Amino acid sequence: MRVITFNANGIRSAARKGFYTWLARQRADFVCIQETKAQESQLGEAMYCPRPFHCYYHDAERKGYSGVALYSRCKPDKVVMGLDWPEFDAEGRWIEVQVGRLSVVSLYLPSGSSGAHRQAVKFRVMERLMEHLRRLRRRRREYIICGDWNIAHKEIDLKNWRGNRKNSGFLPEERAWMDELFGPAGFVDAFRVVDPRPEQYTWWSNRGRAREKNVGWRIDYQVITPGLRDRVLRARIYKDRFFSDHAPLIMDYDWPTSPHVAPGLDG
């Protein structure tokens, strides 16, 4: 089973740069997209619901802002749009599809880089989201929560970690929250299960030739429940072409693609 997560920084912009042509060759089972920056009514062309996927969009109320999408090769048993939190859902930040015993989520965690107000919003979302994630762990389901989490967890996850310790995305409080996510809350960083190497980044600033120099951050994750840890096969960050300031994260799992043939749960 192949799962791709990608922050498009504008889905129409990514389309113009060849994202959908590339996607057609990837044999993905699920595609999670963040920061669509479009209303679904603006995406009338067929490319925005590519075959053979069932395609779902959760738009922000504000035009040209945020928004997430999720494409599923299997028709889901259930689709969950948002989390019934007005502040969060108004910005279009969560879609979940349930296929058999597996849930796949496209998540776009807020950024706090634009100022103290948005950092306060980010902290509120983080606090409430952790409560929700802990509830998910008590369900008899496996989860793959894909997306732009807007936090680099460890020093290995960004190039200039010393200079960013007071900046949003690498604040001590944010890193401690990730420690909790991958510690007491019981989730797993799927990428690090198979790739422990440094300098594996998914986002680069558009300034200072950062991408050319690989001065980046790893802020795009596939966060999984423990029952999937031993089913992670491989991970790849696609960097041959640039569709956005983020790179697609491609991960393969040993999990049946048919919803009617699901392994037993481990946790």
CATH number, residue 85: 3.60.10.10
- Phi, psi for residue 201 in degrees, rounded to 5: -110, 155
Specify whether the CB–CB gap between 97 and 72 falls below 8 A: yes
pLDDT for the residue 176 = 98
**In whole angstroms, how far apart are CA 71 and each of 83, 86, 95, 126, 130?**
19, 24, 10, 25, 25
Radius of gyration in angstroms for the set of CA atoms belonging to the chain, rounded to a whole number = 17
Residue 195 placed within a domain: yes
Q: What is the mean pLDDT of the chain?
A: 95
Q: Is 43 helix (H, G, I), strand (E, B) or coil?
A: coil
pLDDT for the residue 108 = 98
Residue 149 placed within a domain: yes
pLDDT for the residue 4 = 98
State the average pLDDT over residues 171-190: 98
Which residue bears the tokens 């990837």?
Answer: 26
Residue 96 placed within a domain: yes
For residue 89, pLDDT beyond 80: yes
Residue 240 placed within a domain: yes
Own/partner long-range contacts of 49-52 (Cβ < 8 Å, ≥24 apart): 50/20, 50/23, 50/24
- Rounded-to-integer distance, Cα 190 and Cα 251, Å: 8
- DSSP conformation class of 16: H
For residue 191, pLDDT beyond 60: yes
For residue 161, pLDDT beyond 90: yes
pLDDT for the residue 266 = 38
- Rounded-to-integer distance, Cα 109 and Cα 149, Å: 5
Total number of domains in the chain:
1
State the average pLDDT over residues 43-68: 96
Q: Which of 148, 157, 189, 252 is catalytic?
A: 148
Residue 228 placed within a domain: yes
pLDDT for the residue 114 = 86
- The reported pTM is 0.95
The question of whether 189 is a catalytic residue gets the answer: no
For residue 264, pLDDT beyond 60: no
Which domain range does residue 25 map to? 2-253
- Phi, psi for residue 200 in degrees, rounded to 5: -105, 90
For residue 29, pLDDT beyond 80: yes
pLDDT for the residue 267 = 33
Q: What is the pLDDT of residues 107-140, one digit of tens each?
A: 999 999 889 999 999 999 999 999 999 999 999 9
Residue 266 placed within a domain: no
- DSSP conformation class of 111: P
State the average pLDDT over residues 44-50: 94
Q: What is the pLDDT of residues 213-255, one digit of tens each?
A: 999 999 999 999 999 999 999 999 999 999 999 999 999 999 9
Residue 109 placed within a domain: yes
Band of the pLDDT at 190, cuts 50, 70, 90? very high
**In this prediction, what percent of the chain has a pLDDT beyond 90?**
93
pLDDT for the residue 265 = 42
Residue 212 placed within a domain: yes
